């Protein structure tokens, strides 16, 4: 019986896709992509091609070692997708540019891709001025950063905060579009009781690819999705259990076990993960709590304004659970051994906060602008905190453009 429903569902899906594509403003989508790419090019060019602090050089070195020896060290071996992309682009170019050039292309392209995905996900609306909001938010969101007030006190623009814009680490940047696409597919499982197998397969592929960039996204997102799925099962609400299990849970478990075996059971990083509340982050800053508030000012005001919709709206619920798990990992977990000072669980907080910002931006725009709901003070508070983050992003952009440091 279920199989007989698929042709009808497929026809509906094709019709919906056709309508969606027809309604896309392709000119504005291209404008968003180009603006994000062009505006980000100077800072990525500086950070990648000049002798400054950052992780770009180590990623190039890993790719060079692979080309020379045919294998990676344990850590890059567990998530080598960026290196394979760099090598592939360089070879496709026929030697026109090297690994550094490939890395620059990836970073700039991803910036445009993030803006484009945000633009598409915001959707259209029959509201005057909507496209101006949609384009402006899609471009500006890719440059948001924590509010930088404490830089006047300690001179630090990155340490102690949960970063949004990141100009020193290429993999957290590359992870963002994969995380957003996983989020969109996860929502299908909360809207339909049964999706087609291609949705399940696409989810599984994206989960694995995201982990091959950095495992931090699935370390925060998939447990949150599991908690929400259990909640909806108990409440007998719509849930595609097949998608949750085969599209998210099982692929995540499989790839994490494989990564654990490579990274921690190879002899170099034995007994690596430990619970150490604030141990690492407190070494970088004396202002952790105020910097947490300044990192999440926009989402905290959103939590207050939309508190009544927190549990009723599945995407808000999912975003907040993901953020709580990511923040816990950020502040509470460390890796013993040589990777401890790298702060690799910091990425969980960053990707979770970024996703929550994207979720809340979309919810806020649809609520306040598209549907013209809410009170004036709520709109002012939301816009004000967003602009504060944008101001922090401009400051951090200029700092990374003119300084050898990123901290």
Domain ranges of the chain: 23-402
Q: Which residue matches tokens 């401009």? A: 394
Could you give the CA distance from residue 43 to residue 64 in angstroms, rounded to a whole number? 24
Which pLDDT does position 4 carry in this prediction? 54
Q: Specify burial of residue 53 (Cβ count, 10 A radius: 0-12, 13-18, 19+).
A: middle
pLDDT, residue 76, reads: 83
CA 28, 117, 242, 353 dihedral sign is negative
| CB proximity list for 120: less than 8 A, separation 6 or greater | 24, 29
Are the C-beta atoms of 351 and 289 separated by less than 8 Å? no
pLDDT of residue 328: 98
Q: At which residue do the structure tokens 């497929």 appear?
A: 10
pTM of the full structure: 0.94
pLDDT at 12: 62
Length of the chain: 407
- The phi-psi region of residue 155 (left if phi > 0; otherwise alpha if psi is between -120 and 50; otherwise beta) is left
pLDDT in tens, the chain (407 residues): 445 555 666 666 665 656 666 778 999 999 999 999 999 999 999 999 999 999 999 999 999 999 999 888 877 889 999 999 999 999 999 878 899 999 999 999 999 999 999 999 999 999 999 999 999 999 999 999 999 999 999 999 999 999 999 999 999 999 999 999 999 999 999 999 999 999 999 999 999 999 999 999 999 999 999 999 999 999 999 999 999 999 999 999 999 999 988 887 765 555 578 899 998 999 999 999 999 999 999 999 999 999 999 999 999 999 999 999 999 999 999 887 666 667 899 999 999 999 999 999 999 999 999 999 999 999 999 999 999 999 999 999 999 999 999 99
Burial 388-398 (b: 16+ CB within 10 A, else e): bbbebbbbbbe
Strand-pairing partners, residue 334, are 274
């Amino acid at each position: 019986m279920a199989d007989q429903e698929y042709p009808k569902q497929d026809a509906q899906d094709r019709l919906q896709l056709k309508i969606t594509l027809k309604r896309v403003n392709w000119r504005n989508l291209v404008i968003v992509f180009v603006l994000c790419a062009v505006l980000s090019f100077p800072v990525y060019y500086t950070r990648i091609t000049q002798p400054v602090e950052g992780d770009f050089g180590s990623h190039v070195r890993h790719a060079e070692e692979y080309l020379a020896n045919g294998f990676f060290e344990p850590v890059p071996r567990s998530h080598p997708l960026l290196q394979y992309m760099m090598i592939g682009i360089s070879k496709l170019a026929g030697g026109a540019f090297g690994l550094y050039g490939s890395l620059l292309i990836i970073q700039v392209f991803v910036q445009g891709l993030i803006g484009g995905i945000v633009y598409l996900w915001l959707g259209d609306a029959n509201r005057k001025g909507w496209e101006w909001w949609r384009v402006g938010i899609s471009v500006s969101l890719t440059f948001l950063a924590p509010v930088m007030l404490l830089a006047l006190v300690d001179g630090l623009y990155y340490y102690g905060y949960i970063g949004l814009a990141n100009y020193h680490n290429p993999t957290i940047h590359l992870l963002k579009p994969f995380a957003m696409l996983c989020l969109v597919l996860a929502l299908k499982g909360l809207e339909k009781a049964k999706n087609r197998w291609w949705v399940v397969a696409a989810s599984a592929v994206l989960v694995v690819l995201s982990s091959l960039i950095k495992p931090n996204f699935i370390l925060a997102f998939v447990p949150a999705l599991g908690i929400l799925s259990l909640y909806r099962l108990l409440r007998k609400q719509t849930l595609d259990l097949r998608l949750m299990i085969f599209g998210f849970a099982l692929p995540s478990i499989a790839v994490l076990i494989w990564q654990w075996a490579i990274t921690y059971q190879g002899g170099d990083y034995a007994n690596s993960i430990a619970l150490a509340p604030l141990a690492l982050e407190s070494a970088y800053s004396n202002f952790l709590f105020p910097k947490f508030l300044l990192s999440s000012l926009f989402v905290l005001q959103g939590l207050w304004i939309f508190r009544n919709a927190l549990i009723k709206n599945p995407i808000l619920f999912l975003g907040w659970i993901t953020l709580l798990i990511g923040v816990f990992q950020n502040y509470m977990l460390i890796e013993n051994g040589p990777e401890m000072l790298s702060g690799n669980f910091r990425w969980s907080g960053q990707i979770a906060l970024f996703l929550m910002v994207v979720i809340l931006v979309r919810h806020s725009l649809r609520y306040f602008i598209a549907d013209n709901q809410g009170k004036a003070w709520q709109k002012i508070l939301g816009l004000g905190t967003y602009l504060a983050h944008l101001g922090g992003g401009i400051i951090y952009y200029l700092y990374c453009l003119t300084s050898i440091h990123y901290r």
